[in-house]
Amino acid sequence: MYMPNFREIRFAEKKEEIFFKAAEIFAKKGYEKTTLEEIAAELKLTKGSLYHYFKGKEDILFQSFIKAHSLAVQVLSKIVERKDIPPKVKLCLAIKEHIKVLTTKFVYATLRQQELLLPAELRGEVRVERKKFQQMFVSIVHEGIEDGTFKPVNLKLVSFAILGATNWVARWYSPDGPFSPEKIGEAFADYLVGGLEK
Amino acid sequence: MYMPNFREIRFAEKKEEIFFKAAEIFAKKGYEKTTLEEIAAELKLTKGSLYHYFKGKEDILFQSFIKAHSLAVQVLSKIVERKDIPPKVKLCLAIKEHIKVLTTKFVYATLRQQELLLPAELRGEVRVERKKFQQMFVSIVHEGIEDGTFKPVNLKLVSFAILGATNWVARWYSPDGPFSPEKIGEAFADYLVGGLEK
């Protein structure tokens, strides 16, 4: 089994720290108005040393999008693959866990940025990652329609409605707001799954 | 009754034309990468003449946000006020009509821009407008819970889920896509209202 050495672990940790801090500043000021100097200053690094980790500001935004989407994919794929729970439970779990991911500061801060700020080829890569987790919701709803648990709805449109409702959480959620991620997850799962049941 | 004169009508029409063209270019290239020169060139105007209509690029974006939200408010307020239809029909209608607004090119192009690009005080004004139409969805759901048509759900969270699902349409809708605004509206209304019924 491959074991990363101390230097590699430190590198990965520092990179993570830069990601998180950059997302925080982007969310507060907007990507365009943020400079690499500010990100470096907040981390007590020089601008030059940021280039050990990232090619530049655009690369930070790009990798943040990929990372945010991959987190969602990781969490959802484990749920999709489960054979021990019926589609209804699976969809509840997927909605709750997706909301947990979306309400982490790094993820919602990143998703509040505009993908259009990335050049077209990088946007394409982000889209590929996003389609993966969209497809997972589609596959769970499909499973429930197939086995007769869910109403025979328009699979794609209803999956998009579920994705819209949940993804929108990243837009309005605030850790200082009245609702915890768990509370949001439960209310959304009840409502969105309830609407599918026969 | 006040009648605008020919000069005023021409002014209003030209301003509308600038709005629509700017939204189109912002949606394609992103707000930050678009220059006033480009907007002017596309409209066969000089950059200088744009200043008769707008204070600058920021003002175009600001007024576009206000206009897009006001359109939604206008449409929804007429539905909210109706006394001749029960909450269930009202909510179906609100979802369908809201989606019609969101799938007009000017509205979805504008809503794809990042509000964070506006200075804080202008963002505040946009937020006021947006809260108005959010509140309309809340009031319809509230009406249905009160009269016993809808389940006693968490009013705010379920309204946010409905708003998220519908608002998200502005993100993914394409006039070249497989679904018409009417088709999306019907599927969304069926699903989202169905989930509330007892």
pLDDT in tens, A117-159: 898 899 999 999 999 989 999 999 999 999 999 999 999 999 9
SS3 B52: coil
Which spans in chain B are helix H?
6-29, 36-42, 47-50, 57-81, 87-102, 105-111, 120-146, 155-172, 181-194
Confidence of residue A2 (pLDDT cuts 50, 70, 90): confident
Chain A residue set in contact with B, beta carbons under 8 Å: 29-30, 32, 112-114, 116-117, 151, 153-154, 156-158, 160-169, 171-172, 179, 183-184, 187-188, 190-192, 194-196
- Considering only residues B138 and A30, tell me which one the structure prediction assigns the higher pLDDT: B138
Checking if the pLDDT of A1 tops 80, the result is: no
Q: Assess if residue B1 is contained within a domain.
A: no
Tell me the percentage of chain A whose pLDDT exceeds 90: 87
Reference B161, options A78, A189, A126, A24; nearest CA is: A189
Contacts of B191 in chain A (CB under 8 A): 153, 157-158, 161, 195-196
Does B179 fall in a domain? yes
Q: What's the pLDDT band for B103 if we cut at 50, 70, 90?
A: very high
Inside any domain, residue B174: yes
Whether residue A32 has pLDDT greater than 90: no
CATH number at residue B39: 1.10.357.10
Whether B107 has a pLDDT exceeding 80, the answer reads yes
pLDDT for res B30: 85
Give the chain A residue whose CA is nearest to the CA of B191.
A195
* Domain annotation covers residue B12: yes
Long-range contacts of B17-21 (CB under 8 A, 24+ apart): B17/B43, B18/B43, B18/B45, B18/B50, B18/B53, B18/B54, B18/B60, B19/B60, B19/B63, B19/B64, B19/B67, B19/B106, B20/B105, B20/B106
**A43 domain-assigned:** yes
Structural domain span for residue B106: 6-194
Tell me which chain B residues have a C-beta less than 8 angstroms from the C-beta of A116.
Answer: 29-30, 112
The answer to whether B153 contacts A184, with C-beta atoms less than 8 Å apart, is no
Which two three-digit tokens encode residue B34?
């678009």
pLDDT digits (tens, 9 = 90+) for B39-86: 999 999 999 999 999 999 999 999 999 999 999 999 999 999 999 999
**Cα-Cα-Cα-Cα dihedral of B168, B171, B174, B177, to 10°?**
-60
In the block, which residue shows the tokens 């179906």? B92
Interface test with B, best of A116, A122, A169, A180 (most B CBs within 10 A): A116
What number is the average pLDDT over the span A38-43?
A: 96
Residue B104: pLDDT above 80? yes
Task: Tell whether B36 is covered by a domain.
Answer: yes
Q: What is the ipTM metric for this complex?
A: 0.92
Contacts of A112 in chain B (CB under 8 A): 114, 116
pLDDT of residue B147: 96
Say yes or no for a CB contact (<8 Å) between B168 and A165: yes
Task: State how many domains chain A has.
Answer: 1
Region B152-172 average pLDDT: 97
Provide the pLDDT for residue B105: 94
A30/chain B closest Cα distance in angstroms: 6
pTM of the model: 0.93
- Residue A4 clears pLDDT 90, i.e. is over it: no
Contacts of B172 in chain A (CB under 8 A): 160
pLDDT of residue A193: 98
